[in-house]
Chains A and B, each alone.
Chain A
Amino acid sequence: MFQTFFQSLLDVLQPETIAIMLVGIAIGFVVGVLPGLGGSVTLALMLPFIFDMEPVQAFAFLLGMWVVTATTGDITSVLFGVPGEATSAATVFDGYPMTKRGEAGRALGAALLSSTQGALLGAFFLALSVPILRPLVLAFGPPEFLMLTLLGLTFVVALSGRNVLKGFLMAALGMLVALVGIDPQEGVPRYAFGQLYLWDGIDIVPLVIGLFAGAEVLQLMLSKTSIATRTADNISGIRQGVRDTFRHWTVVVRSSAIGIGIGIIPGMGGSVSQFIAYGHAQQTSKHPERFGKGAVEGVLAAGANNNAKDAGSLVPTIAFGIPGSVGAAVLLGAFLITGLNPGPEMLTTNLNITFSMVWIMVLANIVAVAVSFLLIRQLVKLTLIPGTWLVPFLLVLLGVGAFTASNNINDIFVMLAAAALGVVAIHWDWPRVPFLLAVVLGGLAERYLFLSYSLHGWSWLTTPSVLGLGALIVFVAVWPYVRAMRRRGKEPVPARVETKDNDLTGVGK
């Protein structure tokens, strides 16, 4: 097996294969940076070009392209607050505030390097899991998925910042939005008001774009300044970002693990795991209050997560031909075109191809990140362009980004409504992330709850894996309070300071 592993590296390193992969990377780079031009649509467009290729070449081209979109999507998120890809949305939360503070170089350095680290960890995991690929996919069912979504929802507490009540209210609002659409059990449209557009619920992409990017662009329009009023020394900023990934290596590793785990689950979707990773990073941080205001750990969590997730979603694709995400669904077409049968064959006779995918993910990410690092200095200058010049361009990105989610004009209206909500939330200091998390996870939690019940009655509640995950949820929910109490025990915080804070937020005594 080890021999096959290294033999497959030689397969990938064939000059023609490398050339094809570089073309794929170049396309993926551009697609990732541009919002609206999604990785999966591009993959579908490129499928016909692999007809005459050998399997390894085909995957070098397509997989190379796909994994790079997740990396470069972060660039647009950090610089302009508009996610380049749906999976780069969480990078906006802290990456964009860092840019506004003049730390774009640091944020990009952290996002890009953590992306590579996430990809490496994901690839490493994929390689390691080859012997247990099939049992691994089968180990989890709807009850475990439900517990995972609940675990994600407990992060609302952390994501609420100082005012937990406001966080819960925003999460409740998010849950209500998640109810919109055809209910998964009876097939009855809820809150659809006769609009077919609403049958599938509110799409996450226009929501994120409006809530974060839309609100920021409006502010940029009104402030008449550039995104960043100054930039720190770029080179040292990039170095600092790189150092950050090593300083907070536990965040990178855990976020990657979350990405891999959720990537494996078909139906959870690629856009979910970044929010869970982000929530976990805030929950475990010593300074959760800095999140959303430019905490580098937030950037690291999102960056590492979205690349590791791609490796995860390949696991069920390779093992069963069941794609773990939309992108993986298109890649499945590539299996068929090149005459491969997903399933046991991929782990025996075609093991070299499975391993070559691991190498392709690693190599493509390294190349893309190296190129990105060369460009960072130029890219950062974009944030100094006066807002009056930049805003029209950003408005186009907003519109295109929201529209191409499902090629529906209503997505633009959702984006605008979300932008209005975003402005209100910023103005009165209501947290936006709990809302988003609840929209994403609320629908999933409902679906998996009903599925668990219709499959197993109530007996699923007492299975060991569910109980274990339940214990983890309790731990995650209680831990911040325990830690706060322990810290208070060590170094008592004057009670006065807290009263002062309360007065500032207007909540009063």
Chain B
Amino acid sequence: MFDRKPTRAAFSALLGAIALMSTACDAVGTSTEASAGGGGDCSMFEGETVTLVVPYSPGGGYDSYARIIAPHLGKELGSEVVVENEDGAGGLLAMNNLMAATPDGTELAIMNGVGVAGGALAGAEGIRFALDDLSMIGRVAEQQAVFVAGAKSPYRTLDDVLKADGFEFASTGVGAADFVNANLLIEILDFDGRVVTGFEGSDESELAVVRGDVDGQTGDLDSRIEAIEAGDEHPLLVIDTKRADVLPDVPALGELDLGQRERALAESLIDMSAFGRPIVGPPGLPEDRLSCLRQALHNSVTNPKLLAAAKKEERPISWLSGAELDELVGRLGDASAAFQQSLRAAHERG
């Protein structure tokens, strides 16, 4: 069973109370005491308050990651890192606001990499910036997408779907990651499928899949794994070059036998998925501040204490450096016209 540490538990609850009382007027925020020093090159952040924006309401993956990282990043920078939820326009409101922020690194955001990258490449309405405008600090988690079918649907394997007569995907809306993934899968694998939009959030679309109102959906593996293990959903395909460790029997998109055009589309889709959940800053972040933030974030996510906390919340850390993200942006910028065309189509109406 679990470790029994009642006194510590009670103590930490008490600390919680004190922490809340002291930050009650701030309304939001996770605070850490400014600790002495975070490496010589980060002196410009000492004593500053850094806001880490979550573009969604509390609860869910982005919020969890931000709150796990904030105290450690604060220690590294020698400043206070406050988490702020700024929900709106499917996360785009916060991203556009970030674009207008003073580029001094005191305002950062955790971004929906796939959604924003897809939208930016497609030139979707509401994204008022190009992907390479963003200052990439580092990816904290990958978002391995998985294609699942509900237990009540007749589909058990990918082959069943390829022979389908009208496979229905649930999606939260035009331009959302589940919408883009579903439309591209239909195009790459060339099967008879359609996407039903209008579900309020992933909770509602998941319920529709479990109920059997629709046949399946695409989603993050770490969010889907519970339903898969409970037997409510069957995994069909992992949208990655290689199979997922937790699902060794489920094929990966990269290993399928595809035509040349389809293969190129699949590679771009996998590239785009690699964005995962990055932490980004506004355009034009000065070199010294950017390199400090990159180093500080790297130190934070390799800190054993942070890793333990992340493990406990089942939010695995998967690091990709800012430089590697920049490379990815470049590669996607060069992606084939066919891919951008497919993305654009997915942002209009399937």
Q: Does A122 contact B (CB under 8 A)?
A: no
Closest chain-B Cβ to A252's Cβ sits at a distance in Å of: 29
Q: Which of B2, B15, B210, B232 contacts A49 (CB 8 A)?
A: B15
Instruction: Indicate if the CB atoms of B93 and A196 lie closer than 8 Å.
Output: yes
Closest chain-B Cβ to A32's Cβ sits at a distance in Å of: 12
Q: Does B198 contact A (CB under 8 A)?
A: yes
Which stretch, A159-167, A183-191, A385-393, touches the partner chain B?
A183-191
Q: Does A288 contact B (CB under 8 A)?
A: no
A44 surroundings in chain B (CB, below 8 A): 58-59, 63, 67, 85
Q: Which of B86, B125, B349 contacts A407 (CB 8 A)?
A: B86
| Binary CB contact string for chain A from 23 to 51 against chain B (1 if under 8 A, 0 otherwise) | 11011001100101100111111111111
Closest to B17 in A: A23
Instruction: Indicate if the CB atoms of A27 and B93 lie closer than 8 Å.
Output: no
Q: Which of A336, A338, A408 contacts B93 (CB 8 A)?
A: A408
A19 surroundings in chain B (CB, below 8 A): 10, 13
Q: Report which residue of A36, A51, A52, A338 has the largest number of chain B beta carbons within 10 angstroms of its beta carbon.
A: A52
Instruction: Indicate if the CB atoms of A45 and B27 lie closer than 8 Å.
Output: no
A231 surroundings in chain B (CB, below 8 A): none
| Binary CB contact string for chain B from 72 to 115 against chain A (1 if under 8 A, 0 otherwise) | 00000000000011111110110010000000000000000000
Within the assembled complex, what's the spacing in Å between the Cα atoms of A342 and B206? 14
| Binary CB contact string for chain A from 180 to 216 against chain B (1 if under 8 A, 0 otherwise) | 0010111101000000110110000000000000000
B230 surroundings in chain A (CB, below 8 A): 320-321, 341, 343-345
Within the assembled complex, what's the spacing in Å between the Cα atoms of A350 and B309? 23
Q: Does B328 contact A (CB under 8 A)?
A: no
B33 surroundings in chain A (CB, below 8 A): none
Q: Which of B14, B23, B60, B200 contacts A267 (CB 8 A)?
A: B200
B208 surroundings in chain A (CB, below 8 A): 141-142, 455
Which stretch, A53-61, A273-281, A361-369, A495-503, touches the partner chain B?
A53-61
Q: Report which residue of A41, A55, A137 has the largest number of chain B beta carbons within 10 angstroms of its beta carbon.
A: A41
Q: Does A126 contact B (CB under 8 A)?
A: no
Q: Does B133 contact A (CB under 8 A)?
A: no
B247 surroundings in chain A (CB, below 8 A): none
- Known contacts A42-B20, A45-B30, A326-B58; A333/B313 CB under 8 A: yes
B14 surroundings in chain A (CB, below 8 A): 23
Instruction: Indicate if the CB atoms of B17 and A27 lie closer than 8 Å.
Output: yes
Within the assembled complex, what's the spacing in Å between the Cα atoms of A243 and B195? 54
Q: Does B204 contact A (CB under 8 A)?
A: yes
Q: Does B319 contact A (CB under 8 A)?
A: no
Instruction: Indicate if the CB atoms of B58 and A43 lie closer than 8 Å.
Output: yes
Within the assembled complex, what's the spacing in Å between the Cα atoms of A156 and B84? 37
Which stretch, A67-75, A222-230, A446-454, touches the partner chain B?
A446-454
Within the assembled complex, what's the spacing in Å between the Cα atoms of A408 and B230? 39
Instruction: Indicate if the CB atoms of B125 and A141 lie closer than 8 Å.
Output: no
Instruction: Indicate if the CB atoms of A407 and B84 lie closer than 8 Å.
Output: yes
The number of chain A residues with a CB under 8 A from chain B is: 77
Instruction: Indicate if the CB atoms of A200 and B89 lie closer than 8 Å.
Output: yes
Instruction: Indicate if the CB atoms of A52 and B27 lie closer than 8 Å.
Output: no
Q: Does A316 contact B (CB under 8 A)?
A: yes
Q: Report which residue of B58, B226, B230 has the largest number of chain A beta carbons within 10 angstroms of its beta carbon.
A: B58
Give the contacts of A332-379 with B (CB-CB under 8 A). 332-333, 336-339, 341-345
Instruction: Indicate if the CB atoms of B232 and A320 lie closer than 8 Å.
Output: yes
| Binary CB contact string for chain B from 1 to 32 against chain A (1 if under 8 A, 0 otherwise) | 01111111110111111011101100111100
Q: Does B345 contact A (CB under 8 A)?
A: no
| Binary CB contact string for chain B from 287 to 309 against chain A (1 if under 8 A, 0 otherwise) | 00000000000000000000001
Q: Report which residue of B4, B20, B84, B86 has the largest number of chain A beta carbons within 10 angstroms of its beta carbon.
A: B20
- Known contacts A41-B28, A49-B12, A184-B173; A333/B197 CB under 8 A: no
Instruction: Indicate if the CB atoms of A185 and B86 lie closer than 8 Å.
Output: no
| Binary CB contact string for chain A from 268 to 288 against chain B (1 if under 8 A, 0 otherwise) | 000000000000000000000
Q: Does B153 contact A (CB under 8 A)?
A: no
Within the assembled complex, what's the spacing in Å between the Cα atoms of A30 and B64? 24
Instruction: Indicate if the CB atoms of A326 and B57 lie closer than 8 Å.
Output: yes
Instruction: Indicate if the CB atoms of A329 and B58 lie closer than 8 Å.
Output: yes
Q: Does B314 contact A (CB under 8 A)?
A: yes
Within the assembled complex, what's the spacing in Å between the Cα atoms of A44 and B85? 11
A267 surroundings in chain B (CB, below 8 A): 199-201, 203-204
Closest to B349 in A: A186
| Binary CB contact string for chain B from 168 to 199 against chain A (1 if under 8 A, 0 otherwise) | 10000111000000000000000000001111
Instruction: Indicate if the CB atoms of B173 and A182 lie closer than 8 Å.
Output: yes
Within the assembled complex, what's the spacing in Å between the Cα atoms of A40 and B87? 13
Q: Does A504 contact B (CB under 8 A)?
A: no
Instruction: Indicate if the CB atoms of A455 and B213 lie closer than 8 Å.
Output: yes
Closest to A320 in B: B210
Closest chain-A Cβ to B242's Cβ sits at a distance in Å of: 25
Within the assembled complex, what's the spacing in Å between the Cα atoms of A450 and B210? 20
Residues of B within 8 A of A (CB): 2-10, 12-17, 19-21, 23-24, 27-30, 57-60, 63-64, 67, 84-90, 92-93, 96, 125-126, 168, 173-175, 196-201, 203-204, 206-208, 210-211, 213-214, 226-227, 229-230, 232, 309, 312-314, 347, 349
Pairs across A and B, CB under 8 Å, 21 listed: A16-B6, A16-B9, A23-B13, A34-B24, A40-B57, A41-B28, A45-B19, A46-B20, A48-B309, A184-B197, A196-B92, A197-B88, A199-B93, A200-B87, A267-B199, A267-B204, A320-B206, A321-B226, A329-B203, A330-B58, A455-B208
Residues of A within 8 A of B (CB): 16, 19-20, 23-24, 26-27, 30-31, 34, 36-37, 40-55, 57, 61, 137-138, 141-142, 182, 184-187, 189, 196-197, 199-200, 266-267, 316, 320-324, 326-327, 329-330, 332-333, 336-339, 341-345, 400, 404, 406-408, 447, 450-451, 454-455
